[in-house]
Structure 1
């Protein structure tokens, strides 16, 4: 539907074979029960939509549902169909999820920027594998809150609360690592975890003092090796980047969580750092205007810059 569409929906107005329905930004009308065809699998509700959805209004065939930025209506039990696997909320959504109100069939859940509600045991679907929490989220994620099925978790800039990761976690994506408090340095990485992504890392402080970069060192005996990462990927805040940033990164290399490959992006520059067993690392500018090679000794502590 176009952005200007905002007409009432009537029974029989949509084709029986319709599988995808995307409303424009101005649509904000009730969805009566029986209007949406039983063939529908994907529904996108536009920017202005903010209507209570009646029980049974969404067909049991629906698997993918996305709300617009203005939607702020609380989700009640049985409001969403049991067939749903992907659910995404918009910018302003900030309603508490009553336990078991979200269908257990959901595997992917994304909440908006303003979401900052307490999550308790039972709030999240037991089949959830991917969870994206918005920039404002800053609530404790204690034992049992994140379902055992979870493999991907994304946290953003303001998070500084307790965090207990489930045993099947594979990827942790987190932002502005310097804002994490010191007690998060004792976070235990599950043995299943193989990828960590850190965005907007600021170099205003010395890199070794950033708690998240000391996780590997603070873990209990034996757990460090079992949770070695395959990939550690970081992006640096452009405002904190300067000529000395390269040396800061290199000096802190031994403090990073252990990974087979570490990738550090700085503005338009891309660093690809291999582990100490490779006895070298590479660095390149994305625009190829200048090239520099970085070398490391076998113990990973002595670095030097070489022009290429």
Structure 2
């Protein structure tokens, strides 16, 4: 059945092309990019700001499409991803490749014309990092794939800031680092719950190649570093108390859930309630932290 799915393609419609862009991931990327732009000390005209955010969305969609093009074989072996357009045989691989490349090139060119070359270069770098470094190189060969590859998802707030200012500053670098350190505990919380799925797809995610306890301890280590970086803009004078208290409280809750994950009595509990709670909370925590950043730098400035 897997071979048929990968070799027989049915006519794709617009929903399949939309699914290629990984819309749920795109929403988070667009939001953090927008918050980075709002937090910047320079405001873009509304039309240019919209264009820049659209370019970030297009770049995220391009990366998602090229990721699925390259990983169609893995996706077909995993229950979680078997219904994706390429894995399910609803789309021709060539069409997905052309769509991803075209969307990526267009996003970079438009960003360069609408804002500045540095923002366009960072946008191009984020696409290439996700596709070449994470998808092609790291994902199939090392359990550190999501650690290093997580940098790709950390680019949007930096790109949003640079689109507005034309330069790199400490605050967006800290936000980049925040997402970079947030990614392992967020991703491994899910990977622990679907370990068998990753094993079936021969993906060496950390829970597949290491014990559950080792994975959980590493998650906690990254969470501690993430919490420090999340709160750092406040004592450094880059943000005010509104952001600082929001980040502090949110990070303490994040750490508390991580500790609960580590202290779970069973080595691989069947219900994985703690891991599920951490995965779901981590999404809201990241979005609330970035919303607080945008509000602190504008409303509460």
| TM-score normalised over the length of structure 1 | 0.26
Answer 1 or 2: which has greater strand percent: 1
* Bigger Rg, structure 1 or 2: 1
Higher relative contact order (CA 8 A, sep 6+): 2
Answer 1 or 2: which has greater helix percent: 2
| TM-score normalised over the length of structure 2 | 0.27
